[in-house]
Structure 1
Amino acid sequence: MKSLKALLAKPFAHYIRKKVYKWASNPIVTQEKVFQKLIESAKHTEFGKDHDFENIQSHADFIKRVPIRDYEALKSYVEKVVAGESDILWKGKPLYFAKTSGTTSGSKYIPITKESMPTHVEAARNAILLYVAETGNTDFVDGKMIFLQGSPVLKEENGVKLGRLSGIVAHYVPGYLQKNRMPSWETNCIDDWETKVEAIVDETLPEKMAIISGIPSWVQMYFERIQERTGKKIGDVFPDFKLFIFGGVNYEPYRNKFENLIGRKVDSIELYPASEGFFAFQDEQEDKGMLLQLDSGIFYEFIKADTFFDSTPTRITLKDVKLGVNYVLIISSNAGLWAYNIGDTVEFTSLKPYKVIVSGRIKHFISAFGEHVIGKEVEHALNEALQQSGASINEFTVAPKIDPEIGLPYHEWFIEFEKEPENMDAFEKIIDASLQTQNSYYFDLIKGKVLKPLQVTKIQKDGFQNYMKSIGKLGGQNKIPRLSNDRKIAETLTNYKKA
């Protein structure tokens, strides 16, 4: 017999779906309202005064007054907020700082305000409710749910709490889920990731797990520990496991490995959360595109990725985007981020409603020879090779080999295989042919004998985990870049080459 909670889930899910699709079906007006409200709310802040928000009436006015910035360029304002000053980027003080790892600036402090915090929680909730509305599946509602996340222990800096986004969100799990959620508070507070995973395995093995959520690479580590302990498939250990929720990286390279670990297929929902905002979630099981969150206090701008490094790239809004174009995502939000480059690139898969996939990072590409290979291209090429060969992988990354001892330079693929292909040469050729088909620059460089076809370097079991541990980034929200334009990661990874 279903619980009252399970019975109420369906009508509530349909109510929320109707509400979501109301703004999704009126996207341009929705975004214009968000834009005007943001400008009005922040015009008396220091940033608003410095950039003449009083006289901004349109997107064109905004472009003239507010340049694109990354964290480094916004840092002088953020430092004032961190120092405890009010009304700098947004009215008052933020509720939290989400602390993230910066590539050039050390730690980054991303503000989360009382206006922006609810949007993170609502989007995560709505993703599950739209799944319920579409599938009618409420079996998981009474089961246990685990969210592999960072520690919820928060520090304080000048009256503002500070922590990882996933740890901050842990404080906002609604009351009706508190009895279902795992792991326990004590286990969640363990800092060392390997110790934490073992404790999570101890806690969850006796339970009826229904939802498992986290970054795929870290969920994989959890699954592997369970399999080592039990000798069973995850689907047999947790027969009630019905839904996998993930974000942070593309799931496709992990799919074969996960289905093998689980022993059966389970439904999945992809999310696009970040410290800077919750941008999109998958709203239909048969559509990999994620519904862009247009009514969440975030105003979106887009710049074509191949023009981003021009002196004055064109900034467009939602009404001018096209399908299949790689765009750098620029946001302005009620957290006090203005024309802010979060570093991600997206591609639209639908314009009615607006749906995106994450295609990569604007700084994570290979263009050592002018090829500008992006994350989406390498992931697509690898998936083709995995499907055709029957191989499966645990992790991978790609870097240029600019000065080999013999022969032409090439792209070096570092792959930790779960199941190796029978013919490695054929596997490499499938990837290379796919890249040449997708990327005309790469095709020209191969045909022109500037580059030779890629080569795979096999990494030993747990090599990527050991690499992440060696740099102090094992677990949590940390993930390895798919692409690098230099050899920094590659040089360390060579220590974990398979003999």
Structure 2
Amino acid sequence: MISLKSALAKPFARRVYNKIQKWATKPIETQEKVFQELIAQASRTKFGIDHNFKNITSHEDFIQNVPIRDYEALKPYVERVVAGEENILWKGKPIYFAKTSGTTSGSKFIPITKESMPSHVEAARNAILLYINETGKSKFVDGKMIFLQGSPILKEQNGVQLGRLSGIVAHYVPKYLQKNRLPSWKTNCIEDWETKVDAIVEETLPENMTIISGIPSWVQMYFERLQERTGKKVGEVFKNFNLFIFGGVNYEPYRAKFESLIGRQVDSIELYPASEGFFAFQDKQNGRGMLLQLNSGIFYEFIKADEFFNENPNRITIKDVEVGVNYVMIISTNAGLWAYNIGDTVQFTSLNPYRVIVSGRIKHFISAFGEHVIGKEVEQAMEEATKDTNVQISEFTVAPQINTEKELPYHEWFIEFDKEPEDISKLAEDLDQSLQNQNTYYFDLIQGKVLQPLKITKVPREGFQNYMKSVGKLGGQNKIPRLSNDRKIADAIWNMISVK
């Protein structure tokens, strides 16, 4: 029997779908409207006055007056906001700071305003509603749903609430979902990740779980604990679990492992959230890429990744982007971030509507010899090399090995296997061939005997978890970079392996 909640979800989903279509079918006009509104609303702020907002009427004006900044460059303004000053980056004061761990700047304090907060909540909801509208499946709304996230406990900083983004969003769960949502408040507040996962296992075991959501690497840990506790596949424990929602990393390297843990295939929805904004979500089950949120108070600019470090790289808007090109995404938002580099690279998979995939991080690449290898390429190589095999990967990362005495340098792949290949040298060959096929620079370096083909170093079970634990980044929204241009992570993992 269909419940009232399940029945009402379908017409609601249709309404939201129609609303999204209105802006998705007018993308350039939508972005121009967002741009003009952002400039108008911030023209009297300290940042707006410093950057001549009152005379900015076009994107060309904006480029002339507002340089690209990362967090470090914007920090002098952010520090004034954190100190309690008003009308600095955006009118008034923010209602939250999302605290994130920066690589060079320690903790980052990303402002969230009353104008920007709704998009953080609505985008995830809309992703589920578009899934309902497309598939007709809505029965899952009657079951329990879980999102593996950070603690919802917030602190105060000069009158502004401060916490992890996922913890902030927990305060905005609609009332009609409160009874369906797990874990409990008490469990969500547990800071130690391993203790928290065990508590979540105990809480969810007796429940009718229908949606499970989180970063794949940490959901995998939850699934493994469930299996250890019950001796059963996750799909047996939760017979009505049919929708996995994820974000933060590419799911494909984890898919085979997940299907093994679950015991069957389940539908999935990919999200692209960040403390700086909710940028995209998967709107089609069979389509590649995520629908770029063009009507969420965010104005997007793009710079070709291979031109990004030029003195004056070309800044373009969505009307000039091309499919398949690697772009650094630059954002200006109704939270007061202006021409802000979040560090992500994206590629468009479609221009009608505008859909993207996250291809990596502008700082996460390997170019020790000019090869310009990016995250998307190593993930695709892994996907191709393990396809139609029994090999299962738990986690992996890649780094250059330059300090070689009597042999050529190479890329070193640190891989934690759940199911090892019968012939590890064959896997290395397939990975290397895929990289050569994708990346002409890498191909030239291999063929020119500047680099030798890649080598695989096996990481013991739970090796990556132990590494993340050792650097205080176990669980939550933390994730292992797919590749690095130095050996900081690689050497730390090497040292852990050597001790064993």
What percent identity do the matched residue pairs reach? 76
How far did residue 407 of structure 1 move?
Answer: 0.5
Q: CA deviation at 1:375?
A: 0.3
Determine if the alignment matches structure 1 residue 106 to structure 2 residue 112: no
Residue 381 of structure 1 corresponds to 381
Matched letter for residue 188 of structure 2: N
Aligned to 1:404: 404
Counterpart of 1:2, as a letter, is I
Matched, 1:134 2:149: no
Distance apart, 1:165 and its partner CA: 0.4
Which residue is equivalent to 1:473?
Answer: 473
Distance in structure 2 (CA, Å) of the matches to 1:473 and 1:406: 37
- Asked whether the equivalents of residues 460 and 496 of structure 1 are also in contact (C-alpha less than 8 Å), the reply is no
Deviations along 1:96-132, whole A, 9 cap, x unmatched? 0000010100000000000000011110110000000
Q: Please list, as runs of the form range in 1=range in 2, the aligned pairs for 1:84-233 lying within 5 A after superposition.
A: 84-233=84-233
Could you report, residue by residue, the CA deviation over 1:61-102 in whole angstroms, capped at 9, with x for unpaired residues?
000000000000000000000000000000000010000010
> Partners of 2:482 and 2:276 in 1: how far apart?
21
TM-score (norm 2): 0.99
- Deviation of 1:386 after TM superposition, in Å, equals 1.0
Q: In structure 2, how many angstroms separate the alpha carbons of the residues matched to 1:497 and 1:287?
A: 41
| Pairing of 1:242-281 with structure 2 (within 5 A) | 242-281=242-281
Quote the Cα distance in structure 2 between the aligned partners of 1:490 and 1:253. 19
Once the two structures are superposed, the pairs formed by residues 340-359 of structure 1 within 5 Å of their partners are 340-359=340-359
How far apart are 1:496 and its partner, in Å? 3.8
State the distance in 2 between where 1:185 and 1:476 align.
Answer: 15
Instruction: Report SS of the residue matched to 1:389.
Output: coil
Which amino acid in 2 is paired with 1:197? V
Q: What is the distance in 1 between the residues matched to 2:53 and 2:150?
A: 37
Question: Which residue is equivalent to 1:423?
Answer: 423
Counterpart CA distance in 1 for 2:69 and 2:136 is 43
- Indicate the residue corresponding to 1:3 in structure 2: 3
- After the TM superposition, which residues 266-305 of structure 1 pair with which residues of structure 2 at under 5 Å, given as runs? 266-305=266-305
| Unmatched segments (≥5 aa) in structure 2 | none
1:60 and 2:27 correspond: no
Could you give the per-residue CA deviations for residues 308-353 of structure 1, whole angstroms, max 9, x where no partner exists? Answer: 0000000000000000000000000000000000000000000000
Structure 2 distance, partners of 1:198, 1:301, is 43
2:237 aligned partner: 237
Letter in 1 for 2:446: I
Q: Is the 8 A contact 1:193 1:476 kept in 2?
A: yes
Residue 26 of structure 1, CA deviation: 0.3
Query: How far apart, CA to CA, are the structure 2 residues paired with 1:406 and 1:233?
Result: 48
Equivalent pairs, count: 499
For the pair 1:325 / 2:322, whether they are aligned, the reply is: no
Structure 1 residues 476-495: Cα deviation after superposition (integer angstroms, max 9, x where no partner): 00001111000100011013
Contact between 1:156 and 1:162, CA under 8 Å: does it hold in 2?
yes
Q: Which 10-residue stretch deviates more, 98-107 or 489-498?
A: 489-498
After superposing on structure 2, the runs of 4+ consecutive aligned residues of structure 1 that deviate more than 4 Å are none
Q: Give the corresponding residue for 1:461.
A: 461
Q: Cα RMSD between the aligned structures?
A: 0.8
Partner of 1:443: 443
Matched-pair contact (CA < 8 Å) for 1:415–1:456: yes
Instruction: Give the match for residue 41 of structure 2.
Output: 41
Distance 1:59 1:344 in 2: 21
Q: Is 1:365–2:377 an aligned residue pair? A: no
Q: Tell me if 1:20 matches 2:48.
A: no
Q: Is the 8 A contact 1:96 1:161 kept in 2?
A: yes
Distance in 2 of aligned mates of 1:462 and 1:434: 27
Whole-angstrom CA distance in 2 between matches of 1:235 and 1:479: 25
Equivalents in 1 of 2:421, 2:314: separation in Å? Answer: 44
Contact 1:458 1:497 in 2 (8 A): no
2: CA distance between counterparts of 1:404 and 1:126? 52
| SS class of match (1:393) | strand
**2:497, 2:407 → 1: CA distance?**
21
CA offsets, 1:248-300, max 9 Å, x none? Answer: 00000000000000000000000000000000000000013100000000000
Q: What letter matches 2:438 in structure 1?
A: Q
1:215 & 1:115 partners in 2: Cα distance? 26
Distance 1:342 1:150 in 2: 21
Aligned-residue offset at 1:388 = 4.2
Partner Cα separation in structure 2 for residue 420 and residue 496 of structure 1 = 20
> How far, CA to CA, are the matches of 2:276 and 2:309 in structure 1?
22
What one-letter code is carried by the residue in structure 2 that aligns with 1:445?
L
Query: How big is the shift at 1:3?
Result: 1.5
Cα distance in 2, alignment partners of residues 349 and 31 from structure 1 = 19
1:405 Cα offset (Å): 3.8
- 1:457 Cα deviation after fit: 0.3
Q: Gaps (5+ residues) in structure 1?
A: none
Is this contact kept in 2: 1:459–1:496, CA < 8 A? no
Taking the aligned partners of 1:395 and 1:155, their CA distance within structure 2 comes to 34
TM-score (norm 1): 0.99
Letter in 2 for 1:64: Q
